[in-house]
Each structure stands twice: as C-alpha cells, then as structure tokens.
Structure 1
Amino acid sequence: MADLAPTVDRPGVHVAKTARDFPATGSYACRCGVSGRATGDDNVRDLVAEWIDHRNTCLHR
C-alpha cells in the first residue's frame, strides 16, 4: 500500500478503511509541498474537505 500514498511527485489523496470496525486512515500531498494525514472516520472526512479546499485554491494543482 505504500506505493498508493500520495507524494509531491504524485499528488493526490488516499483514503483507506480496512474493515468496518477499524478507523479510516487518509493522507494527501500537493505539488506545492503541503501534505496532511489523519486517522479516524471524522478526522479523515475533515482531511478530505481540507484537501478539496486546498486543491481548489492552490496555484500548483
């Protein structure tokens, strides 16, 4: 799964939830160097919203 993780060279967002009873995990990276990580369903939901906001305003998209 490590090769699915976003990097500055391969920007994007990755979300995983291995099982219903386990917390979601997520990460994102942008070409500009901004990145984020989160664990927990609510935190990952917030992370995705943060990524969308960043992607819509970043000049390096």
Structure 2
Amino acid sequence: MTGVPDLAPTPERPGVHVAKPARDVPAHGSYACCCGASGRAQGDDDVRDLVAEWIDHRNTCPHR
C-alpha cells in the first residue's frame, strides 16, 4: 500500500492544510510560514479560526 505524502506545511513549504475526511469527523488543519510562524487546530470551529489566523498572518507577514 502506498502512503499519502505528508501534506503538512513547513517553513520550507509554507501554506495551510485543512482536512475533513467525513461529515461526522472533526476537521483538522495546520499552517506554517517561511518566517517561522505556525499553528495547528482540531475541530471545525477551531480550524475555521485557524484559517482566519493564517489569512491575517499572510496579509501582514513581512517575509511573504
């Protein structure tokens, strides 16, 4: 069986990753920036907040 590559962002591969494998399973997500900022969350509401945090960071980070 072939494994799925690790899609988690890193400072070398910045970005955001969100997954919700099924309707009744809580979402989980993470982000990383090349400046070193990062975050992780689990649960639909917390992941929604994480994405908003990533967008705010992306728009204000001097290293983008």
The TM-score normalised by the length of structure 2 is: 0.91
The TM-score normalised by the length of structure 1 is: 0.95
- Superposed structure 1 runs of 4+ greater than 4 Å apart: none
The answer to which structure has the higher helix fraction is: 1
Instruction: Provide the secondary structure at the position in 2 that maps to 1:48.
Output: helix
Gaps of 5+ in 2: none
Instruction: Among all aligned residue pairs of Structure 1 and Structure 2, give the percentage whose two residues are the same amino acid.
Output: 80
CA distance in 1, matches of 2:46, 2:5: 20
What's the Cα RMSD here?
Answer: 0.9
Gaps of 5+ in 1: none
Residues 8-58 of structure 1 deviation map (CA, whole Å, 9 limit, x = unaligned): 000000000011000000000000000000000000000000000000000
Q: How many pairs does the alignment contain?
A: 61
